[in-house]
Amino acid sequence: MIETRQLGLFYRGFKAVDNVSFCLKKGEVTGLLGHNGAGKTTLMRMLSGELEPSTGSVIFDGKPLLSNRRELAARMGYLPESPPFYPELSVVEFLDYAAGMQGVRGAGKAARIRGVLQKTGLTAVALKKIGRLSRGYQQRVALAQAIVHQPDFIMLDEPSNGLDPVQSGELRQLLQSLSSTSAVLLSTHVLSEVEQSCDRVLVMRAGKLVVDQYLDTLVAGKLINLSCSLSPARLVECCHGDFEVQQHALVADGVYQYRLSLSETSAMTIEQFAAFMASSILATGERLYTLDSQKTTLQSFVQTALVEQHTKQADGKPFDVNASGKPEEC
C-alpha cells in the first residue's frame, strides 16, 4: 500500500528522521509512538507529501509520492496535531469545502458529507459555526475532513486530543471501521489508545525506527529480569535454553543485570523458565542476586524501546529492541 524506503530528513546536520523503512497495508491500524521530538510528526508530514525527504522515498501503490503528489494526495487523508479551521463556517460548509478540495464533486458529494457527519457524530451540529463548538466537537470536524473523500491511506496525529472518554470510545470504533478499506496510521502519546485500537506498533527514538511489531505477538512475550555474577558470555555458555538476551548491563563491580525473553515456541511456562535460569546459574557456583518474571505489556516494551541513548549494554553498544513478530516486507 504505502512504503517508506530509507527515509530521512536532515535540518542543518540534525537528523530529524533517520533511515526509516516500513510498509503499511489496508486492513490494519498502526500506532506510531515515541518521545516528543522523536520524529513522528516530521515522518507524517513526509508521508503526506508536505515535506520533501532529504534521503529515501515514499512509495504509494508502486508510485513515488514526490513525482505523483497531486494524484496520490487525493487518496490520502491527514489529521494534523493542530488542525486549521475556518471558525466562521458551519460544519457542513467546511466539509463541503474540504470535499471539493479533494476532488469530490457532483451528485455524490452531498451523500459523502451526510455519511461522514453520521460516522463522526456531527449530524446534530452540522449547521453550527465551527468557532462556537467545543474542543471535542472541533476535533471531530478535523477528523471528518480527513475522511470525507474516503481515502485509501489515513494519517491521524493525536486524534483523541480534546475528546472525552465516550468520544474516545467512539473514535476507536470508527478506526476499526475505517481500517476495513484503508491503511490507518495513528500517532499518539496514549498507550491505552494503541492497545485498544491498533493491530501493530511502530516506535521511534531520536529519529530512528526501533520497533515494528504486531501487538498480539508483542504482548504475548514472556520476560524475566535477573541480576547475577555471570558475565554475558558465561550466561549464554552455562544456561542452554530457548531464550534470548534482550538487554544486559554491568550495574556494579561483578554484577550484571539481564532482561531475558522466552521463545514463543518454547513449551516452558514463565514460572518454569524462571526456575530453570535460577538452577542453571546456581549450578555454576556463581551468585544470583535478584530474579523476577513478568508478562510483556505495551508500556514495559515501549519503555525499554525508548531507553535513553546514553544507556549502554555490557559490551558498550547502545541498546536496541529486536523482537519477533515483525511484519513482512511489502
| CATH number of the domain where residue 96 is located | 3.40.50.300
Domain match, 198 and 234 both:
no
In a domain, 186, yes or no: yes
Rg of the chain over CA atoms, in angstroms?
24
If asked whether residues 33 and 161 sit together in one domain, one would say: yes
* Pair 230, 212 in one domain: no
> Could you tell me whether strands 243-252 and 208-214 are parallel, antiparallel, or unpaired per DSSP bridges?
unpaired
Say whether pLDDT at 75 is over 50: yes
Task: Please indicate, yes or no, whether residues 176 and 252 belong to a single structural domain of this protein.
Answer: no
Residues 49, 126 within the same domain:
yes
DSSP state string for 129-176: BGGGS-HHHHHHHHHHHHHTT--SEEEEESTTTT--HHHHHHHHHHHH
Average pLDDT, the chain: 87
pLDDT band at residue 220 under the 50/70/90 scheme:
low
Q: Which helix (H) or strand (E) holds 291?
A: strand 288-295
266 and 204: one domain?
A: no
114 shares its domain with 39: yes
Averaged pLDDT, 166-191: 90
Give the range of the structural domain holding residue 46, as residue numbers without chain letter.
2-216
Are residues 204 and 232 located together in one domain of the fold? no
Residue 322 has pLDDT above 60, yes or no: no
Closest-CA residue to 323 (of 237, 200, 142): 200
Note the helical H segments in 180-305.
191-197, 215-218, 232-238, 270-283, 298-305
Please say which residue of 216, 242, 257 terminates a domain: 216
Asked whether residue 261 carries a pLDDT value surpassing 90, the answer given is no
**324 occurs within a structural domain:** no
Q: Number of folded domains in the chain?
A: 2
Amino acid at 270: I
159 and 250, same domain (yes or no): no
Q: Are residues 147 and 289 in the same domain?
A: no
**Which of 166, 197, 216 corresponds to the end of one domain?**
216
> What is the arithmetic mean of pLDDT over 57-72?
90
Is there a domain that residue 328 lies in? no
Residue 73 scores a pLDDT above 60 = yes
119 within domain boundaries: yes
How open is the CA angle 51-328-267, to the nearest 5 degrees? Answer: 135
Per-residue confidence (pLDDT) for residue 325, from 0 to 100 = 56
Q: Are residues 47 and 131 in the same domain?
A: yes
Residue 235, domain CATH: 3.30.70.1710
| Residue 174 confidence (pLDDT) above 60 | yes
Q: Which of 195, 216, 237 is the last residue of a domain?
A: 216
Residue 304 belongs to some domain of the structure: no
Query: Would 310 be classed as within a structural domain?
Result: no
Would the CA dihedral through 299, 301, 307, 312 be positive or negative? positive
The pLDDT, as a whole number, for residue 328 is 64
Query: What is the distance of C-alpha 191 from the center of its chain?
Result: 10
Query: Confidence band (pLDDT; 50, 70, 90) for 318?
Result: very low
Asked whether residue 89 is assigned to any structural domain, the reply reads yes
* Mean pLDDT, residues 149-170 taken together: 90
Residue 253 falls inside a structural domain: yes
Looking at the structure, tell me whether residues 93 and 22 fall in a common domain. Answer: yes
